[in-house]
Amino acid sequence: MVGLTLAAKLIATEQQIEFPLSISIDNQAAIVSGERFHSGPGAYLSLKFQKLLRAVKWSNPHYDITVRWVPGHEGVHGNEEVDKAAKVAAEGLHRSSPRASLPKYLRNGPLPLSIAALKQAHRAQIQARWTRIWPSSPRFQRLQEIEPNAPNRSFLKLTAQYSKRLTSLIISLCTRHIPLNQHLHRLTKVDSPHCPHCPQTEETIHHYLFACPQYQRERHILSCALGRKSTSLPHLLAASEAIPHLARFVNATRCMKPMLGEISLPST
């Protein structure tokens, strides 16, 4: 868009000009934005371009200017000369045009930053920083064993339709920060890490889901629904078709109800 305004400025300051004229550009978005008013990023540049062209039109009765799209400026007469001139101008201020010859809005220093571009750059910076730091987390290996994509977009997309309690349950099982005695004992919230139904056996996630005889009936229902996959923790925590059955299992055992409450079930 700045290039278009510079082209319009050259046309407006040319003493002997002949119409029709053609401005060639290899950016379709710039052409579309110059045809109508819009409130998106850089909209003020479109207004500057339109204002300069209107000034040319008012002072030239034979006004006839076309802005056309040419991919890569291929076949445009004078394109090579323009590239050479641009390279010369890039060598420094001493090789560029005088500041007074620029449109007024370009004489006051750098253009305002685009909010959209700033947000995009910020997101990219945060993503790069997270990608660098995340593998050093002690929870990285645990989640990799269960769901390599967690907590990437696929995991966020999977849990977007779930209630907060169900999402909390999945994350708690993935990170092992779950209200079972092994974890609660580590936090000094209970006296023993052992299962209340199985003396001398720690109440781990594996024991709770796959071994404790107290929940044999609930486990049988889970097995009937999922078959052999009911014994796979990664499948239970990462497969959309398995999570509703996992929630039913947790609700039926009532083991975590004091802390998580009744977990609403997603549609299967």
For 81-137, what is each residue's pLDDT tens digit? 888 888 888 888 777 778 888 888 888 878 877 788 888 899 999 989 988 888 888
Which range of residues forms the domain containing residue 152? 147-260
Report the DSSP beta bridge partners of residue 69.
25
220: which 2 tokens? Answer: 């049988």
Does residue 133 lie within any of the structural domains?
no
Domain contains 141: no
Q: What are phi and psi of 127, to 5 degrees?
A: -65, -40
Q: What share of the chain is helix, strand, coil (3-state, %, to 5)?
A: 60, 5, 35
Q: Quote the pLDDT of residue 35.
A: 66
Residue 130 lies inside a defined structural domain of this protein:
no
CA distance 82 to 119: 33
Stretch (H or E) spanning 194: strand 194-195
Confirm if 234 and 246 have CB atoms less than 8 A apart. Answer: no
38 within domain boundaries: yes
Q: Are 236 and 163 in a shared domain?
A: yes
Structure tokens at 259: 């802390």
First to last CA, the chain: 51
Q: Is residue 129 part of a domain?
A: no
Same domain, 151 and 104: no
Percent with pLDDT over 90 in the chain: 27
pLDDT of residue 147: 62
CB-based contacts of 253, cutoff 8 Å, min separation 6: 208, 214, 215, 218
Q: For residue 248, is it within any domain?
A: yes
Q: Do 255 and 200 have their domain in common?
A: yes
The two three-digit tokens of residue 227, written as one number: 């078959």
Q: What does the pLDDT look like over 67-83, one tens digit per residue?
A: 888 887 777 777 788 88
Quick one: 158 and 232 in the same domain?
yes
Which has the closest alpha carbon to 193: 179, 183, 184, 182?
182
Q: Rounded to whole angstroms, how far apart are CA atoms 172 and 183?
A: 11
140 inside domain:
no
Q: What mean pLDDT is reported for the chain?
A: 84
d(CA 165, CA 179): 13
Which residue among 66, 90, 112 closes a domain?
Answer: 112
100 and 189 share a domain? no
Domain boundary among 89, 112, 135: 112
83 Cβ contact partners less than 8 Å away, ≥ 6 residues apart? none
Higher pLDDT, 17 or 167: 167
Which among 112, 134, 161 is the end of a domain?
112
- Examine the domain organization and report whether 72 and 155 are in the same domain: no
Are both 151 and 216 inside the same structural domain?
yes
Q: Are residues 30 and 108 in the same domain?
A: yes
The pLDDT of residue 203 is above 70: yes
Rounded mean pLDDT of 53-69?
85
Residues 70 and 157 in one domain: no
Same domain, 163 and 221: yes
Return the pLDDT at 246. 93
Q: At what angle do helices 243-253 and 216-226 cross, to 10 degrees?
A: 170
Do 84 and 182 fall within a single domain?
Answer: no
Q: Answer yes or no: is 266 within a domain.
A: no
Q: Are residues 107 and 152 in the same domain?
A: no
Total domains in the fold of the chain: 2
